Amino acid sequence: MGVIIYSVLIAFLLSILQGPLFIPILHKLKFGQNIREEGPASHKKKAGTPTMGGIIFITTTVVSILIMNKNINSNVIFVFLCFLAFSLIGFLDDMLKIIHKQNEGLTVKQKSLLELIASCGVAYYSYVHFGTDIYIPFLKISMTLNPIIYILLVIFYMVAVTNAVNLTDGLDGLASSVTLLVMTFFGVICFSWHQYPLSIFCGIVIGTLLGFLKYNSYPAQIFMGDTGSLGLGGAVAGVALVLKLPILVIIVGGIYVIEAASVVIQVTYFKRTGKRFFKMAPIHHHFEKLGWHETKVVSVFCIATVVLCLISFLALF
């Protein structure tokens, strides 16, 4: 337990110390966020806020893993590579947005192709090293899938989770706070299941997010960008894969699911009727349009995540 606490504290210190270093540099390089024209009016003032704060996640995680190297195993390396692969895709997307000076980076086809390539690698490694068993929450049984079906499902799962976390990153501190709670849940599960090295990795992510929230909570001084949100999605999805709990992400990451589902519903409904189902999607913007301050949206979504974590514990124990 002491080693896990050290991992949280080390990552927290590394993360919080990098804020005063990176924020001025990003300002100087004019790596500012471009705000969607159709977005809430209250977000216009955020234009120019430094983005790509996910770089802090990468540097903190790398240094923390090197410091804690005696407690690292192949599972941790696998999850770290899941995190890094999707972070790099997000980094490329963020860079193109900055170069083009608009809220469009990679095209949908380009981004989807890169995510599919990364997901195929994850799926194959997972099949070879972890087998095709997945745990069914509440029923408390494991199901062995056909290898081809397993690989296809993992590919879909990785793309879905990473993009769902990315969609959640639309308000100051929202994705950071929700993912902090989700990773805390998985850290407890790892520890209780004696997956100590993996619980240390969860501790590193927890510490990183705690430090980052100092600068990302309202009013945000820096945004994580796709570099951070896609990377966090890769980390969450990777940890759940190692534990054979990808289905549980639907519950514990319920906010991610709702955010992604709201976009699908909005697009489908608009194509069929020409009208909007929500005032704006993803759904956190819908609540803003209803008059909620973004801090209230973040608080309510965090409360919901805590409840979902408790339900997830019941699903396992």
Give pLDDT tens digits for 67-95.
Answer: 998 888 999 999 999 999 999 999 999 99
| Distance between CA atoms of residues 60 and 265, nearest Å | 37
35, 222 contact by CB (below 8 A): no
Alpha carbon distances (Å) from 178 to 20, 28, 66, 140:
24, 30, 26, 26
Q: Give, as one character, the DSSP assignment of residue 177.
A: H
Using the predicted structure, report yes or no on whether residue 203 has a pLDDT greater than 90: yes
Most confident of 106-110, 185-189, 267-271: 185-189
Domain ranges of the chain: 2-248
CB within 8 Å of 108: residues ≥ 6 apart: none
Q: Taking each helix axis as running N to C, give the angle between helix 54-67 and helix 2-28, from 0 to 180 degrees, rounded to the nearest 10.
A: 140
Q: Which of 80, 33, 35, 37 is nearest to 52 (CA)?
A: 33
Distance CA 109, CA 149 (A): 24
- The strand pairing partners of 133, in sequence order, are 144
pLDDT tens-place string over residues 8-29: 999 999 999 999 998 998 888 7
Q: What is the mean pLDDT of residues 95-114?
A: 84
Query: For residues 195-233, b (16+ Cβ closer than 10 Å) or e, as one string?
Result: bebbbbbbbbbbbbbbbbbebbbeebbbbbbbbbbbbbb
Structure tokens at 63: 């240094």
Q: In this predicted structure, which of 24-38, 78-92, 99-113 has the lowest mean pLDDT?
A: 24-38
Helix (H) or strand (E) holding 135: strand 133-136
Which ranges in the chain belong to alpha helices (H)?
2-28, 54-67, 74-100, 108-130, 147-168, 174-192, 196-216, 225-242, 249-252, 254-273, 283-289, 294-316
Q: Find the largest Cα–Cα distance for the chain.
A: 58
Q: What's the rounded mean pLDDT across residues 288-302?
A: 96
Report in angstroms the alpha-carbon separations of 301 from 228, 245, 297: 19, 22, 6
Taking residues 285-298, what's their average pLDDT?
A: 95
pTM for this structure?
Answer: 0.94
